[in-house]
Chains A and B, each alone.
Chain A
Amino acid sequence: MPSALDATTNAQLRRPNLPLITLPWLACALLGLAMLMLGRFLGSYQETLMQQVGIFAIAAVSLNIVNGLAGQFSMGHAGFMAVGAYVAAATTYYGSLLHFNTAELQPGLFNFGHVLMLIGLLAGALVAAALGYLVGLPSLRLRGDYLAIVTLGFGEIVRVLLQQTSPQVNGKDPAEIAAFTDAPLRTLARIPLNGALGFEGVPAYATNLWIWTFVGITCLAAYRIKESSSGRAFLSIREDEIAARAMGINLTKYKVRAFVLAAFFAGIAGGLLAHAGVTTSPIDAGFQRSFEIIIVVVLGGLGSISGAVLAAIVFVLLPQVLHPIKDYRLVIFALLLISMMLLRPKGLFGVREIWNILPRRAAHTKPGATP
């Protein structure tokens, strides 16, 4: 069945005049500068807000690889995020208990705690990617809504399984820590991820600096993927699978690759969230959280990386702004979502990037500009 998505021509994907690599970095540098100026907000509500924006941006940009570029509709993205979050959280938490004998945040700009976090992030991302491979496999046989439902089922299975895990080693109780450090493997074999209560007490190493560095890396990676031969293959699969196959594109390979890449970065987003002072609980693997990420991707425009980042900002800030209207808050939010879909169905940017739009707008205002 031909996709109803708007046809994208290469002309729409005009490359900017600047060297490719600079643009995402430029954006990140600007954000970094803004953060330095916001230095006086250090440890403030605004900082926490920025952390969540950043993490949401990574989640959205990663989902965009599989949903936006490859056109494979995934509704289990929160499942990958949760897997990454739990693996990373457990690595740092239990690593800290073993190494520092406490799960408290260690002071300093860079210490072994940060190393643990990085190891955890990588481990979480790799486990998520491995699961992404598994979930990606059926995409050969299934397409469209059916694939979506399978991915949704994956997220729900992750949620229910996480609920069954046994209680966490209590990092506030010296006796429990001692018992754990004596026989770490035996304890870990019980899968102590704290069941329905959620994994708590992970030291919050993920400051904005870390998070936005990862936003930069993710955006850059996504942008490189989009502009690479893989990205072209993804887009062609999205537009027409049969035509893509006729052009010699190995459908299975590229679909699975899209899932693995997306799951990898989702794992990183989850890991960062666990290190940003947010308790991860099984419910975070459920479909409601997946929907949140899908909403961000569609709001930003399917396939647009900068759109996803911008939409993440809007999506995190909007409910916060709407707090004063109390219980009408989510009613208004839902109404805005519906009207956005009705009035601007392509999202903020469509498949284009922010720099594809701005010069064009300028060209429109200048009569007689070269076509």
Chain B
Amino acid sequence: MTELLQTLTTTIAVGSLYALLALGYTLVYGVLKFINFAHSDIFVLGAWTTFTAANVLTDRLGINPTQSPWWGAVLILLLTIAVCATVGYLIERFAYRPLRKAPRLNVLITAIGVSLLLQNLGQLNGRVTVATDKDGRPTATLPFGSTPRSMPPLLPDLVLNETVLSQGTLAGGTQRGLVKLDQPLTMLDGRTYRIEFTRTADGQPRREVLALTATAGTFPPGTDLATQPRRSPAEVDGLPYSLIRSPRVPIMLVDVVIVAVAITLMLGLEFLVFRTRLGRAMRALSFNIENAALMGINVNAVISFTFVLGTALAAAAAFLYPLKYPGLNQPAHQIWVLLGLKAFIAAVVGGIGNIRGAVLGGFLIAGIEFFGTLYGDKLFISLGARPGLGTSLADVYVFSILILVLLVKPNGLLGSPVKEKV
């Protein structure tokens, strides 16, 4: 049950990211009828812009968004959207618009070309240093370079559903990595217990959480309890602490933020497309460009807008992604392309060109990926395969579902069939 719920929370969080990214593919396909292979690279650009901006903010301007001002993070989000939207506009204007009447294969190759260009521009080694740490080592450069980097935190590292059991005063244990509590502690099997306290490090107050690594049992006050990470007795002596029982399925603040931002943007998009004049123009274009032009719609402007809208959604996803996964791979790393591919599959499975389909597809693909990883291995082991085989086939499950869905419903789950005309 715990496994199931844990995987479900992951699915919802990652599914939101896939959905945001899938919306970009779907929007562009809806009006331009081609697969924008450069979309995942816009996403990468967004993630690295977020990284660069966050470093400038923390290292150069000395602002720490995890404490205050919290709007530092919002600033970065807006900047990321602005950068990606601009690049998206330029790509549409100079690479795709001239090919509007060209065969679709050409547009596709151009998209691959743009994707290669963005990747290789991005990983050119940092010519300009825009932020450095206190030892003068560069923390952010432009272009982004080819080294994986660590994202500075923009959100406090909070678990929302933990239970505070009691409070007391902490004492250092007999050696580094051990602490003593001033009250008896009973640890149940299968649950983890943590102590939270605030200590001053480098002149800054710092909230710390230490996990107690002992297994189940009852411990009288003053027992040496091992922790992870380890602190020296001097670092923890005499600090007031809270004893926390971690939930079986932790719900992280970052996941809630991801889902909240994603849902807000999806509702906004739904409103824009179905309730505004601009949205009506977009829908008209997706039916028939020539007719829409005859109706007085400014085709180029609407296409550009749709494209920019798609890239902005990718930018928002790109802002959220490094918050969840602080180890940021370099711009030309193939994991980005695979990520883009999964989002794209989500759009196709849901029915490309269909906004609700993209959202549905995003959650579906994430679900297949994570539940497949979790239960696939058990299934394969029960069939006599070596352990680990089932988990490494996660991508195969995703692609198989794609093929399966397309064979049964060639236009995706929510796609409407295209009428053939002679």
Contacts and interface: CB of A to CB of B under 8 A. Distances in A.
The reply, when asked whether chain A contacts chain B directly with Cβ atoms under 8 A, is yes
Contact of A242 (B29, B407, B411, B422): B422
Contact of A337 (B116, B421, B422): B116
Interface in B333-361: 334, 337, 341, 344-345, 348, 352
A330 B120 contact: yes
Interface stretch (A218-226, A260-268, A272-280, A294-302): A294-302
Contacts of B103: 3-6, 302, 345
Interface in B386-412: 389, 392-393, 395-396, 399-400, 402-403, 406-407, 410-411
A302 B102 CA distance: 13
A251 to B, nearest CB: 12
A3 B104 CA distance: 9
B106 A345 contact: yes
B422 A243 contact: yes
B40 to A, nearest CB: 12
What 9 pairs between A and B have smallest CB-CB spacing? Answer: A334-B117, A153-B399, A334-B116, A337-B113, A338-B113, A330-B120, A341-B110, A345-B102, A331-B120
Nearest to A329: B120
A1 B117 CA distance: 32
B216 interface: no
A298 B108 CA distance: 10
B348 A298 contact: no
Contacts of A328: 124
A338 B95 contact: yes
Interface in A142-160: 142, 144-146, 148-150, 152-154, 156-157, 160
A103 B170 CA distance: 67
Given A142-B407, A328-B124, A345-B99, 10 more contacts: A149-B35, A149-B402, A164-B389, A164-B392, A242-B422, A295-B109, A335-B113, A338-B95, A338-B110, A345-B103
Contacts of B393: 160, 164
A152 B418 CA distance: 22
Contacts of B403: 138, 150, 153-154
B140 to A, nearest CB: 19
A160 B392 contact: yes
10 contacts: A1-B421, A146-B411, A157-B396, A242-B422, A298-B106, A302-B105, A333-B116, A335-B117, A338-B114, A342-B98
Contacts of A145: 29, 34-35, 104, 352
A31 interface: no
A258 to B, nearest CB: 16
A173 interface: no
Contacts of A356: none
Contact of A287 (B110, B341, B396): B341
Contacts of B119: 330
A295 to B, nearest CB: 6
Contacts of B112: 291, 294-295, 337
A166 B334 CA distance: 24
Contacts of B392: 160, 163-164
Contacts of B123: 327
A288 to B, nearest CB: 7
A231 B207 CA distance: 72
Contact of A331 (B106, B121, B396): B121
B167 to A, nearest CB: 50
B406 A341 contact: no
B125 interface: yes
B189 interface: no
B202 interface: no
A341 B125 contact: no
Interface string B210-223: 00000000000000
Contacts of B420: 1, 242
A4 B124 CA distance: 37
Interface in B244-297: none
A157 B410 CA distance: 20
A192 B119 CA distance: 35
A333 B112 CA distance: 12
Contacts of B108: 294
A111 to B, nearest CB: 39
B109 A156 contact: no
A341 B115 CA distance: 14
A40 interface: no
Contacts of A335: 113, 117
A240 B422 CA distance: 9
Nearest to A145: B35
Instruction: Please indicate which of the listed interface residues B116, B119, B420 has the most CB atoms of chain A within 10 Å of its own CB.
Output: B116
Contacts of B105: 5, 67, 73, 294, 298, 302
A342 B344 CA distance: 25
Interface in A13-59: none
Contacts of B113: 334-335, 337-338, 341
Interface in A212-241: 240
A366 interface: no
A1 B124 contact: no
A342 B99 contact: yes
A74 B120 CA distance: 25
A333 B400 CA distance: 34
A327 B406 contact: no
B405 to A, nearest CB: 10
